[in-house]
Amino acid sequence: MLSAFLLRRLLATVPIAVGVATIVFAVMRFVPGDPAALLAGPNASDDVIRAIRAEYGLDDPLVVQYVRWLGRLVRGDFGESIFLRRPVLAEVLDRFGNTAILGAASLALAAAGGIVAGILAATRARSLVDRLVMFLALCGVGLPVFWTGMVLIVIFAVQLRWLPPQGMSPPVRQGPFDIVPFLILPAVTLALPSLAFIARVTRMSMVEVLQQDYIRAARAKGLAGHAVLWGHALKNALIPVVTIVGAQAGYLLGGAVLVEYVFGWPGLGLLIVNGINSRDYPLVQGGIVFTAFVFVIINLFVDVLYTRIDPRIRYGGR
């Protein structure tokens, strides 16, 4: 049944990809500016601009451009970047590795910190610790990432000079860990809202589970507090937490756009922003469609993970 479920979910990605592609194609055409004129330069003649439009098919009707691009997309061809003069898919894959590093580090910080903070608050419900954790979580959810990033740069890069303000690595790399100082600030900035949200969900789930009869029974049998907490309560409280962690993984992909721009992190988000500024239609369309596909795959992985956490969950109605 799991294989049938996976097949259905994979087939469901087709209309999602088509819908995302259609929306992105339409929205990009409303962005003011002519990519051919930008590529040609301010002193280019009208003949040069017309030649560039013809080369990239920009002078064709929108319906023709859309059908042509969608046909290529079905074959796995994301087109060619107007300004970079490279295949879009190759450029997206090159940059996505950097975004994946940032996203994985942020998700690890958010999940670990959020779960620990949520458990701490739940085991001390209605105490000063609980109120403090929830207040900090509320602040973390409400603060915009670009503001948080700028504050962290001012404090830790400008004032204290502990960490570099921008970039991904020093000019001359000498080891695989040279990236770590450059990763800390953007990863923390991106992780804070997700950490706060995971902490709130973990607390609510743990408080509910700790009030169940089987937890009282386990305590009545004389089990140690940590055995009840980690062996019984946490496992049963993880289902909604895993749901939120999976959803936050997709959020981190979207939030990485602002964070990469603030910190000059050479990832997919910064690539899309540069593509929007230069009106590079194929690059922006390909980057967003690829991101949407990754988001669907992450959600599929989370759904499968449910069955490992709770064997009572079965797909296919059995």
pLDDT at 5: 66
* Distance, CA of 283 to CA of 31 (rounded, Å): 14
Q: Residues 164-188: pLDDT tens digits?
A: 988 887 776 666 778 889 999 999 9
φ and ψ at residue 32, rounded to 5 degrees: -65, 150
Measured N-to-C along each axis, helices 281-309 and 2-29 cross at an angle, to the nearest 10 degrees, of 150
pLDDT at 318: 47
Least confident of 36-50, 199-213, 230-244, 249-263: 230-244
Counting residues of the chain whose pLDDT is more than 70, the rounded percentage is: 86
pTM: 0.81
- Residue bearing the bigger pLDDT, 249 or 287: 287
Amino acid 112 reads: A
Q: Is the pLDDT of residue 137 over 90?
A: no
Q: Residues 101-132: pLDDT tens digits?
A: 999 999 999 999 998 888 888 888 888 888 88
Q: Is the pLDDT of residue 278 over 90?
A: no
* Distance, CA of 191 to CA of 183 (rounded, Å): 12
User: Contact 116/105 with Cβ under 8 angstroms?
Assistant: no
Confidence class for position 91, pLDDT limits 50, 70, 90: very high
pLDDT at 230: 67
First to last CA, the chain: 8
CB atoms near residue 200 (< 10 Å): 21
- Residue bearing the bigger pLDDT, 203 or 229: 203
Q: What are the sequence ranges of the domains in the chain?
A: 92-277
pLDDT at 154: 94
| Total H helices, total E strands in the chain | 13, 0
For 92-277, the fitting CATH number among 3.40.470.10, 3.30.930.10, 1.10.3720.10, 3.40.190.10 is 1.10.3720.10
CB atoms near residue 70 (< 10 Å): 14
Q: What is the mean pLDDT of the chain?
A: 82
List the one residue out of 52, 31, 30 whose CA is nearest residue 41: 52
- Residue bearing the bigger pLDDT, 74 or 314: 74
Alpha carbons within 13 angstroms on the beta-carbon side of residue 309 total 18
User: Contact 115/241 with Cβ under 8 angstroms?
Assistant: yes
